[in-house]
Amino acid sequence: MNASPPLDGAVHIAGAGIAVDAIAKSYGSAFMAVDGVSLTVHPGEFVSILGPSGSGKTTLLMMIAGFERPTSGRLVIGGKDMTDTRPEKRNLGMVFQRYALFPHMSVADNIAYPLKRRGVPRAEVRRRVDDALKLVSLDAYGSRMPASLSGGQQQRVAVARALVFQPPVMLMDEPLSALDKKLRDQMQLEIARLHRTVGVTIVYVTHDQEEALSLSDRVVVMNQGRIEQIGTPDELYDAPASPFVADFIGRTSFVSARCLAVDAQGARVRIGDKVDILMPSARCRGVDADQDVRLALRPEAVRLADGDEAQLSGILEGARFVGSSELAFVRLPGGELLQVQTDPGTSRHLPAGSRVGVALDATRATAFPERS
């Protein structure tokens, strides 16, 4: 792999593409951890694999790394078939949740370890370790022992060790989950900066949706061993492909309704007995006329309203301060709970049990067939 001369600790790494073709992993006949997943990661791209516990995201990453052998399917990295290649022959950087630093080695020796294993000359090892320390802003920490570092500093050492031998792909498995929120936020900025600076391909596993949406070029949402949707953060939030994605990404309320008609102008959807809304066709996923549907509504697509502006009414069950806004919870007559975004001071002063009206922005709702 070619790398340009280092500049302030940074080298540009030519990231490699990854092609996952119908990969599956089963454990006996009873459990399919990954079920026929296909995925293309472009060179230099940052792709996060997101999903709840047990969705198969870590198993998929471990198959890319070579620590798990696929039951079926094919894996290509940098144009080479790596399906049966041993992990140490894949030349991939790996960052784990628990840092995996050697406690008896200094920071510099930890970072140097993969270079020494590859037989890199001593002078070159020193230069690359110095560059890696600068890259993660730990220039003066080379002689320190891991136990003397904070969690964020230890994770930066782990990142430096994964990058020091200039791998074309870096795999990261829940790397920030052991850190508190403030450190996680700081490390997210560091990882994003490193990716922009170095250019390596990154595949990043997380269960934290905020982390995935803030870091990634694209996000892969997994559920029960399969991919539910692949898209940019904006696409996943604004145009979820399934009720699972709508529910898993961000805050979402679901309301039962019925699609009355579908034409080139959009879909006419009725909520309850008399509230009709006209939705854009693009926001009606697989919906036909005369069909029961579920409406997915983000809090910002719903507002409190009075008089003729109110389309629905319900009982205010409470409100919560969430920083720059408030979140009101309104129980509709059918039992659905709407989350409504309001300005600070708008809803928390209202007594719980009050009857309130709400209005919907139909252009920001998404309809799914009820069977989905």
Mean pLDDT of 146-157: 90
Report the run of H or E that residue 193 belongs to, with start and end: helix 181-198
7 part of a folded domain: no
pLDDT for the residue numbered 1: 37
Q: What angle do CA 261, 262, 266 make, to 5 degrees?
A: 120
Share of the chain above pLDDT 70, in %: 97
Mean pLDDT of 125-136: 91
pLDDT at residue 348 greater than cutoff 80 = no
342: Cα separation from own chain's centroid:
27
Distance CA 25, CA 34 (A): 5
Distance CA 162, CA 51 (A): 24
Looking at the fold, whether 217 and 305 belong to one and the same domain comes out as: no
The candidate with the shortest Cα–Cα distance to 34, out of 46, 25, 42, is 25
pLDDT at residue 234 greater than cutoff 70 = yes
Q: Domain boundary residue among 194, 211, 243? A: 243
257 part of a folded domain: yes
pLDDT at residue 268 greater than cutoff 60 = yes
Residue identified by tokens 């989905």 is: 372
Looking at the fold, whether 201 and 65 belong to one and the same domain comes out as: yes
4 part of a folded domain: no
Tell me the CA distances in angstroms from 37 to 182, 244, 248, one per residue in order. Answer: 34, 17, 20
Q: What angle do CA 54, 56, 62 make, to 5 degrees?
A: 125
Distance CA 129, CA 116 (A): 11
Q: Domain boundary residue among 243, 266, 281? A: 243
Strand partners, 173: 205
Looking at the fold, whether 217 and 278 belong to one and the same domain comes out as: no
CATH number assigned to the domain comprising residue 154: 3.40.50.300
Mean pLDDT of 138-161: 91
DSSP string, 152-185: HHHHHHHHHHHHTT--SEEEEESTTTTS-HHHHH
pLDDT tens-place string over residues 102-114:
999 999 999 999 9
Q: Helix or strand or coil: residue 264? A: coil
The candidate with the shortest Cα–Cα distance to 243, out of 57, 55, 369, is 369
Which structure tokens are listed for 227?
A: 């991919």
Q: Helix or strand or coil: residue 40? A: strand
Domain limits at 306? 251-369
119 part of a folded domain: yes
Tell me the CA distances in angstroms from 42 to 99, 227, 366, one per residue in order. Answer: 27, 18, 30
Instruction: Please state whether beta strands 366-369 and 291-297 pair in parallel, antiparallel, or not at all (unpaired).
Output: antiparallel
Looking at the fold, whether 65 and 182 belong to one and the same domain comes out as: yes
pLDDT for the residue numbered 183: 83
9 part of a folded domain: no
Q: What angle do CA 58, 62, 64 make, to 5 degrees?
A: 115
Instruction: Please state whether beta strands 31-41 and 18-27 pair in parallel, antiparallel, or not at all (unpaired).
Output: antiparallel
Distance CA 16, CA 104 (A): 33
Contact (Cβ atoms closer than 8 angstroms) between residue 254 and residue 295: yes
Contact (Cβ atoms closer than 8 angstroms) between residue 95 and residue 170: yes
Q: Domain boundary residue among 192, 226, 243? A: 243
Q: In what order do the strands lie in the sheet with 275-279?
A: 275-279, 266-271, 253-263, 291-297, 366-369
Looking at the fold, whether 223 and 257 belong to one and the same domain comes out as: no
pLDDT for the residue numbered 361: 92
12 part of a folded domain: no
Looking at the fold, whether 78 and 46 belong to one and the same domain comes out as: yes
Looking at the fold, whether 169 and 255 belong to one and the same domain comes out as: no
Looking at the fold, whether 138 and 113 belong to one and the same domain comes out as: yes
163 part of a folded domain: yes
pLDDT for the residue numbered 371: 77
Residue identified by tokens 């409470």 is: 318
Looking at the fold, whether 309 and 360 belong to one and the same domain comes out as: yes
Looking at the fold, whether 192 and 299 belong to one and the same domain comes out as: no
145 part of a folded domain: yes
Residue identified by tokens 């990969």 is: 23
CATH number assigned to the domain comprising residue 339: 2.40.50.100
Looking at the fold, whether 196 and 225 belong to one and the same domain comes out as: yes
Q: Work out how many domains the chain is built from and give that number.
A: 2
Report the run of H or E that residue 50 belongs to, with start and end: strand 46-50
How many angstroms separate the most distant Cα atoms in the chain?
A: 78
Looking at the fold, whether 47 and 168 belong to one and the same domain comes out as: yes
Mean pLDDT of 254-277: 89
Distance CA 33, CA 349 (A): 48
pLDDT tens-place string over residues 7-30:
344 567 788 999 999 999 998 777
